[in-house]
Amino acid sequence: MAVLNDKTGKNYKDTFFRTLFHDQKRAIELCNAIVGTDYPEDTPVELYSLENSLLARYNDVAFAIGKQLFVMCEHQASLNPNMPLRFLPYISDAIYTKLVVKDKLYYNSLVKIPTPKFYVLYNGSAQLKAKTLKLSDAFELPDEKPDLELSVTVIDINRDKHDQVLEKSPSLYGYAYLISEIETRVKSGVSRDQAIKESVELCIRQGILTEFLKNNYEEVCRMLGYEYDAEAEARALRDEGWQEGRQEGRQELIRNLFAKGKTANEIVELLGISHDEVEKSRLVH
């Protein structure tokens, strides 16, 4: 077993959640648990990544099985009500860059695409207020039958909720168990890095995600550390008055984040703002 570094790697760009489920067998297992399907382990799966897209999020998982496209996002903090709006350009980008030959859009025959399904896997501490988020909730004028809709199903994966999804997916249960163990240790006063190390080793001893954690020990520790650093920095920025909306302060904070080596995508994720605002702030001198 490798030894955990003194400092978790802030420059590690992927996350534990995405790495764990960017795998054919675990993607099928996750799909069967969440959607209620019964795909066998050898079912063909196409894993998608939009890493080179401006719309990419660091904690998404997208894959196609059969005739359906599943897009899932994991949240560790409070649930964002704007998830349908955030998924909208993401799925459009996925369709036009990965699924459709653009020239065929001008043919007389109908272009078929996998049926998209959207999920948020939530493990925050606040009580969920809604299990379904809809794009139409954001419309200025209410519309009972909107011409454009995007629905996102929210699933609480906290270990203490005893959700059937966790019972059906050992990998998702293992993920929830590990995160829970880390948070319990941190709350008791253990340092974040030490909490990660102890929790990963506990899971290995108890036979939870053992093979994956053994084979990716250092990477998992770096990923979990990076995720925490990102969340902590976002909270700190908001505590410093980010939400007050002072334009000069916002631009300065964005430039400081660039100076620290953060990418545009990371800043968008951290602060919940648009790519346009990030890019404009970078150009302001």
Indicate whether 268 and 231 sit together in one domain: no
Domain annotation covers residue 203: yes
Indicate whether 134 and 265 sit together in one domain: no
Domain annotation covers residue 171: yes
Q: Decide if pLDDT at 137 tops 80.
A: yes
Domain annotation covers residue 7: no
Q: Which helix (H) or strand (E) holds 192?
A: helix 192-205
Q: 5 or 56, which is more confident?
A: 56
- Reduce the secondary structure of 206-271 to three states and give it as a string: CCCCHHHHHHCHHHHHHHHHHHHHHHHHHHHHHHCCHHHCCHHHHHHHHHHHHHCCCCHHHHHHHH
**What pLDDT does residue 247 have?**
56
Indicate whether 170 and 256 sit together in one domain: no
Indicate whether 205 and 100 sit together in one domain: yes
Domain annotation covers residue 25: yes
CA distance 22 to 116: 18
Indicate whether 86 and 52 sit together in one domain: yes
Domain annotation covers residue 105: yes
Q: Which helix (H) or strand (E) holds 278?
A: helix 275-283
How many Cα atoms within 13 Å fall on the side-chain side of residue 80? 18
Domain annotation covers residue 20: yes
pLDDT in tens, 224-283: 876 655 555 555 555 554 544 555 566 777 777 777 667 777 777 777 677 788 887 776
Indicate whether 233 and 253 sit together in one domain: no
How many domains are there within the chain? 2
Domain boundary at 202, 218, 239, which? 239
Q: Are 38 and 254 in contact (CB under 8 A)?
A: no
Indicate whether 60 and 175 sit together in one domain: yes
Indicate whether 81 and 163 sit together in one domain: yes
- The stretch 147-151 carries a mean pLDDT of 95
Q: 199 or 251, which is more confident?
A: 199
Q: Are 31 and 65 in contact (CB under 8 A)?
A: yes
Indicate whether 266 and 227 sit together in one domain: no
Domain annotation covers residue 128: yes
Indicate whether 207 and 272 sit together in one domain: no
Domain annotation covers residue 120: yes
**Boundaries of domain holding 97:** 16-239
Indicate whether 90 and 193 sit together in one domain: yes
Q: Are 117 and 70 in contact (CB under 8 A)?
A: yes
Q: Which helix (H) or strand (E) holds 181?
A: helix 170-187
φ, ψ of residue 254 in degrees (nearest 5)? -65, -45
Q: Decide if pLDDT at 55 tops 80.
A: no
**What pLDDT does residue 246 have?**
53
Q: Decide if pLDDT at 11 tops 60.
A: no
